[in-house]
Structure 1
């Protein structure tokens, strides 16, 4: 790390729920991002632009708990985790981190980090227990309190309408195979914009459509609702999800206030050229567009690529020109979740070829998570070049790490610090070149319920004892705090 240092073992205070002791960030909340400084005026080779937002992210089901209190309805995840054999060790999100009751403590911890933004999701069945109908006032009251606390702590709220917790009642009426679900999502999103848009300025529509469709409905289904649909039905469910995005964009604009901003948060497949030469860079751009054809590409272009439709053949989704117009509704920003790349080279026959992973390629603790820091440069670069995005947010980036508790009770997660330093260096490369990345949200603020992995894999900057729910900032929290303080890679 650059600059003056203290011993790493003095950085965290054992036994404290707020061990960083960071004062309130001086950054105020704005209705829209301030213009970023041109790359040429950035001082120092590792600095980010003035006005860059630093945040953390969570998802409702993974942190809130309180799964059946205050009128909340059942979600597909509530049903899935209560099905024997679905989740490692039989874990559930019934309690999770109990964020529903401990939100004030959690906001203080994020404030101690010096963060200037927080991305969270709203639980759809907490607001509409049956997916539609009359809203649940007690559910909305929770998010009212949370948003007010965030603003009072200098944290801009970035709200995600849907992070996978579909109301079970809608699943029983067809789920994402039903076009009605797309309209229900839009109605719900419009309600949120009307109820919270006086204080929340940034809304994400759906989180990672690619993940909850492919892994929740595809042939290798591993997450809720755990379906294995044939190709034609899978493609139609995908179409309804991207249609929900477009309808939600329109509903949020209609229900929000002047200055409301809206966009997607998609888990993109990022292509990285095997060699940074023109032919491989061009091939990688082609790969990026086609690898995301059913998701981000159609959302930002309002059309399915010819190659996508040809691959689908008779199993292609049914759609109308009006559908595509809605799906391609203009957005104010693009959020991308970036974890790892796919390496790509030019191919004379197909234009590009994705290179497979080597068994020896380094990985983080999660077996799927190959390390490729370049993804955090090439991901936003492709989004800016292919789709002319003027505002890009890294809505998720982070890693599972060893997180062993040392004899003194602290967590010296140097592997996560290595990951962050490597990835943020590539993101700084992007901003230095003028790529319009406006902010970064680390996944995750806290250790949490990691879907089918249960509580076995930890992604947080803050350690959570799942027996006592005690929060303890890790060494990586101190590292991230210093990144934020300096607005630079350290």
Structure 2
């Protein structure tokens, strides 16, 4: 089955409305304290890349490389959130969101990564936090969403052990200034992505392709994850909640029952889903499934590190978009596994090439909740990128509406089975710069015309507003059929 064209006018595939999702349901089924939000990230939305003392980041550098980003695009203006945050927060509040998750640009606060603080940068985040609170939006601040100051990369970046202390100092600066008003904090955003894509695959900043750099960066990010948590806890009031976020995908073998594919799936799971969470619990790295990690332990882990990697987080942010199907590959060392793409398998996929599989949200909630002493879980990113057509002031994005609805249904399914999941944050509030993919894929509940910066709340955003206002989800199938008939009109 091919990916969906912009004006898809037939009932959408069954993948959008899995039979296992509970129907009907409404916001009331989640209880009065459940958090409903949307997420954003500094480099993807802010722009203002050299404004008021901000220093350059590794993404400013990486986007200058010819061919690194599709169409050689960059985030120098992005969605202009730096200048338009009040308008965007008005849209978030108008949807009925209770929470807004955003990240701070480290180089906006510390242009050199350490040393002198850029007061104008801190003042901006002061204003942003206050603007959230004025609209009854509870802020969730992510300290690091991939945009390392260039000055620190020049000193070794994540591959040098010094970054653990640099990051802890940055965390304390942010907590000292904003801790009286920000009630919830996330330390890192998806460490496996910025470490793996940036240091092993070379497709994200800083663009390195070196196994040693990957293992060093991975270990230092694991340490920084815990040290950042401790730095926050030392500065914040007891009521503050401290978490971190993990990328994850439900993994299944390409040939169920095939011993090679089954073993490859276990190795891929250890690398993609377990690597950064288990050290926080005192379980260490998953060396049994990934023997190559012994090199990491021998070369980079020092006495006492196993204790330093532990931290008692108040919540884990689960960030899931799809599942992956895994087969054995002799050509990929470390995990000896390859992913079989959705296109190869002939299943529906998004503009990112990811399989449309909302049930992965449920599967990953169950997997993380199974850890002894697991904290509260939140879905801090969940969404889909499909082609959008803005016509007569409307974006009729039936596919995204259906995905959002199905994913929320999967959260309720896990919650009804006893999983302690306390929030759902859609990715993303607005369309934005999607890293190596540039401005092509659109995830937003709000459409952005990048030439004029005009905003249009999409049908998915309007549905989210109706749902948060009490509208029940009666039938995924009927909903998708009704929505798809209106596409493109």
Give the TM-score of the pair, scaled to structure 1: 0.83
Maintained 8 Å contact 2:39/2:100: yes
Runs of 5+ in structure 1 lacking a partner? 1-41, 346-352
**Aligned residue for 1:348?**
none
- 1:270 lines up with 2:250 in the alignment: yes
Maintained 8 Å contact 2:24/2:473: no
Q: 1:89 to 1:286 in 2, by over 3 A?
A: closer
What is the CA-CA distance between 1:108 and the residue it aligns to? 0.2
What is the CA-CA distance between 1:58 and the residue it aligns to? 0.4
Q: 1:172 to 1:489 in 2, by over 3 A?
A: farther
2:370 to 385, 399, 417: 385
Maintained 8 Å contact 2:25/2:473: no
Q: 1:429 to 1:321 in 2, by over 3 A?
A: farther
SS at match of 1:428: helix
SS at match of 1:330: coil
What is the CA-CA distance between 1:273 and the residue it aligns to? 9.1
What is the CA-CA distance between 1:423 and the residue it aligns to? 1.7
Q: 1:387 to 1:367 in 2, by over 3 A?
A: same
SS at match of 2:380: strand
Where in structure 2 are the equivalents of 1:447-486 lying within 5 Å?
447-486=431-470
Task: Find the aligned partners of 1:274 and 1:49 in 2 and give their Cα distance.
Answer: 38
Q: 1:183 to 1:100 in 2, by over 3 A?
A: same
Task: Find the aligned partners of 2:271 and 2:150 in 1 and give their Cα distance.
Answer: 33
Q: 1:342 to 1:387 in 2, by over 3 A?
A: farther
Task: Find the aligned partners of 1:371 and 1:361 in 2 and give their Cα distance.
Answer: 11
- 1:202 lines up with 2:187 in the alignment: no
**Aligned residue for 2:307?**
325
Maintained 8 Å contact 2:70/2:438: yes
Task: Find the aligned partners of 2:447 and 2:422 in 1 and give their Cα distance.
Answer: 28
- 1:421 lines up with 2:405 in the alignment: yes
Maintained 8 Å contact 1:57/1:119: yes
Deviations 1:139-196 (A, max 9, x none): 0111111111111111100000000000000000001111111211111011111110
Task: Find the aligned partners of 2:202 and 2:265 in 1 and give their Cα distance.
Answer: 28
SS at match of 2:51: coil
SS at match of 1:338: strand
Task: Find the aligned partners of 2:132 and 2:429 in 1 and give their Cα distance.
Answer: 14
Q: Whose relative contact order is higher, 1 or 2, with alpha carbons under 8 Å and at least 6 apart?
A: 2
Q: 1:363 to 1:298 in 2, by over 3 A?
A: farther
- 1:239 lines up with 2:219 in the alignment: yes
Task: Find the aligned partners of 2:103 and 2:167 in 1 and give their Cα distance.
Answer: 14
Maintained 8 Å contact 2:184/2:242: yes
SS at match of 2:292: helix
Give the superposed CA RMSD.
2.9
What is the CA-CA distance between 1:302 and the residue it aligns to? 4.6
Maintained 8 Å contact 2:106/2:148: yes
What is the CA-CA distance between 1:387 and the residue it aligns to? 4.0
1:223 to 204, 207, 211: 204
What is the CA-CA distance between 1:386 and the residue it aligns to? 1.9
Q: 1:476 to 1:257 in 2, by over 3 A?
A: same
**Aligned residue for 1:18?**
none
Task: Find the aligned partners of 1:429 and 1:71 in 2 and give their Cα distance.
Answer: 47
Task: Find the aligned partners of 1:384 and 1:274 in 2 and give their Cα distance.
Answer: 25
Q: 1:287 to 1:486 in 2, by over 3 A?
A: farther
Task: Find the aligned partners of 1:361 and 1:262 in 2 and give their Cα distance.
Answer: 41
Task: Find the aligned partners of 2:407 and 2:140 in 1 and give their Cα distance.
Answer: 22
Which moves more between the two structures, 475-484 or 159-168? 475-484
**Aligned residue for 1:80?**
62
Task: Find the aligned partners of 2:84 and 2:441 in 1 and give their Cα distance.
Answer: 22
What is the CA-CA distance between 1:314 and the residue it aligns to? 3.5
Maintained 8 Å contact 1:49/1:431: no
Q: 1:301 to 1:354 in 2, by over 3 A?
A: farther
Deviations 1:17-39 (A, max 9, x none): xxxxxxxxxxxxxxxxxxxxxxx
Task: Find the aligned partners of 1:225 and 1:166 in 2 and give their Cα distance.
Answer: 9
**Aligned residue for 2:284?**
303
SS at match of 2:277: helix
